[in-house]
Amino acid sequence: MNEDEFKILAPCGMLGYGFPESSFEEGMARRPDAIVVDAGSTDAGPHKLGAGTAIVSRQACKKDLEIILTHGVQAGIPILIGSAGGSGARVHVEWTRDIVREIVREHGWTGVKLAVIWADIPKEAVEKSLAAGRCEPLGIAVPALTPERLEATTRIVAQMGHEPIVQALEAGADMIICGRAYDPSPFAAPAIRRGFDAGLAYHMGKILECAALAAAPGTTKDCMLGTLRGDSFVVQPLSAARRCTSVSVAAHTFYEKDHPYILRGPGHVLHLGDCTFEERGDGSVEVRGSRLERTPTYKIKLEGAMHAAYRTFVVAGVRDPLLVSRIEEVERLVEAQVREYYGDVPADDYRIQFLNYGLNGVMGDLEPNRSPAHELGVVFEVAAKTQELANTVCATLRSTFLHYGYEGRKSTAGNLAFPFAPSDVPFGPVYAFSVYHLMEAADPLSWFPIEYEEVRA
């Protein structure tokens, strides 16, 4: 073990995405000090948190963990998982822990010390913080957190910093399953524990959280090695098919941030304006200049989801040039006819939305190029108070649209082409973020209790 450097092996951008075992073995040959993998995100929206389901399948998660645990346990190096199960709530952490226990049993291992760090926050604690003025919305677009919305929230998690993870490592954990974690925290924690610079550790964690996505060609489905030193860190992909460049690593530094040079985390601000990115000639890049500044008040980000509606949607195609040229006008007329038909249903009980792919399906009203393609993919959805109402309104919307007699139409039917039968897809519950706030935390450890167990065959 080289005390002057600290190596972290990042298998993939999200646990369950998969990675070449050959790349992982190459990483193990470099004798890493820890294996760290992120397992969660809010990128997919609030559904996974609200519904309590995982982002990846159990089979995919187990396949990745099988490789990671087999090498990590035998090598005797710590294994850390951040934001277990996708959203990091209790249900997701327990799902991940069950998979770990199963792998340990199947391999006949004994004496694996597992630490579980919970990240669930009671509603009562949030309510008290709000009343005391110690909880604020994260951005102007976040709706007010009323008692009704808080009561409707299914579960709330907080993003942990490195502090509880360091505590679990100090207790001798062989493996740590973290609830919701600030993405770079599990990567920064083992290096900070060993005395390395926190700014460099967090910046390296920011790169490694997505594994080889910072390489060229970039992917979340391959391994990356990070090596932390006294005044710099080096990142390098572990496949001969990829290289890190100064541009690829610098570009990933800008990833998912509201400011190109500032990255805010639990209890700190990472300043990156003075960073340099130097190619070393072997496919690796060395980074210097990352600086971490502690904030006067320690705050943690809260995420909570509530059940908002039920959804039914239809995917269809439009090819008639007349309809393509006036698609949005026709959609407004179709919606008006449907709403008139269901005039006895309160208008707020359902919502109709159209997405026109080939016109503005991705950016909506922000689309600068509004020249339609010769054909459009049209997705229309109904979100309503009940699944039955969503199904009913969507069926009427589809049949009205299908036969709507817009000006200039020559045929009497066939406005829409359906790729699937049945055309209407009842999606089920829809969730919305009800809690997206910053809460003051006097103690960065108290909100994240740690549970230890000896996992045996």
Q: Is residue 143 assigned to a domain?
A: no
**In terms of domains, do 289 and 321 share one?**
no
Same domain, 290 and 262: yes
145 lies in some domain: no
Q: Are 406 and 330 in contact (CB under 8 A)?
A: yes
Residue 132 in any domain: the answer is no
* Least confident piece of the model among 19-33, 128-142, 190-204, 309-323: 128-142
Residue 395 in 3-state DSSP?
Answer: helix
Contact 163, 156 (CB under 8 A): no
User: Does residue 142 belong to any structural domain of this protein?
Assistant: no
pLDDT band at 43 (very low <50, low <70, confident <90, very high): confident
Res 153 pLDDT > 90 = yes
pLDDT at 200: 98
Q: How many folded domains does the chain comprise?
A: 2
352/178 Cα distance (integer angstroms): 39
The pLDDT value recorded for residue 143 is 87
For residues 377 and 403, membership in a common domain is answered with: yes
Statement: residue 146 has pLDDT above 70: yes
Q: Are residues 254 and 273 in the same domain?
A: yes
**pLDDT tens for residues 193-247?**
999 999 999 999 999 999 999 999 999 999 999 999 999 999 999 999 999 999 9
Reported confidence tier of residue 139, pLDDT bands at 50, 70, 90: confident
**Total Cβ atoms within 10 A of residue 137:** 15
Residues 6 or more apart in contact with residue 216 via CB below 8 angstroms: 242, 243, 244, 245, 247, 248
- Residue 217, classed as helix, strand or coil, is coil
- What domain range includes position 74? 6-119+159-298+441-455
283 plus 412 within the same structural domain: no
Torsion angles phi and psi, residue 124, rounded to 5: -60, -35
Residue 85: the pLDDT is 96
What local confidence, expressed as pLDDT, does residue 108 receive? 93
| Separation CA 420–CA 84 (nearest Å) | 35
> Are 180 and 223 in a shared domain?
yes
Helix axes 185-193, 198-208, angle to 10 degrees: 140
Residue 270 reports pLDDT greater than 60: yes
Tell me, yes or no, whether 13 and 83 share the same domain. yes
| Residue 279 pLDDT grade (very low, low, confident, very high; cuts 50, 70, 90) | very high
Q: Is the peptide bond before 190 cis (omega within 30 degrees of 0)?
A: no
Is 165 among the domain residues? yes
Percent of the chain at pLDDT > 70 equals 100
> How is 15-51 classified by DSSP, letter by letter?
TTS---HHHHHHHHHT--SEEEEE---STT-SHHHHH
pLDDT band at residue 457, thresholds of 50, 70 and 90?
A: confident
Answer yes or no: is 332 within a domain: yes
Nearest partner of 88 among 354, 342, 292, 302, judged by Cα: 302
Q: What are 377-392's pLDDT values in tens digits?
A: 999 999 999 999 999 9
CATH code, 410 = 3.30.70
Rounded average pLDDT over 262-282: 95
How far, in whole angstroms, is CA 264 from its chain's centroid? 17
H or E stretch covering 226: strand 224-228
- 270 plus 343 within the same structural domain: no
pLDDT digits (tens, 9 = 90+) for 287-341: 999 999 999 999 999 999 999 999 999 999 999 999 999 999 999 999 999 999 9
Return the pLDDT at 259: 87
**Are residues 353 and 281 part of one domain?**
no
pLDDT the model gives residue 292 = 97
Residue 237 is assigned to a structural domain of this protein: yes
Tell whether 69 and 200 lie within a shared domain.
Answer: yes
**Is residue 414 very low, low, confident or very high in pLDDT (cuts 50, 70, 90)?**
confident
Q: What does the pLDDT read at residue 32? A: 98
**Does residue 1 have a pLDDT over 60?**
no
> Are 282 and 168 found together in one domain?
yes
- Structure confidence at residue 257 (pLDDT): 76
Write down the mean pLDDT value for the chain.
Answer: 95
pLDDT band (50, 70, 90) for residue 260: confident
The tokens for 147 are 């008692």
Is there a single domain that holds both residue 426 and residue 347? yes
Examine residue 127 and state whether it is found in any structural domain, yes or no: no
Using CA of residue 180, residue 178, residue 225, residue 237, what is the dihedral sign? Answer: negative
Which ranges of 318-448 would DSSP assign to H, the alpha helix? 321-325, 327-341, 387-403
Distant-in-sequence, close-in-space partners of 415: CB < 8 Å, separation ≥ 6: 318, 320, 323, 401, 402, 403, 404, 406, 409
From CA 275, how far away is CA 253, in angstroms rounded?
Answer: 10
Percent of the chain with pLDDT over 90: 90
| Rounded CA separation 82/182 (Å) | 8
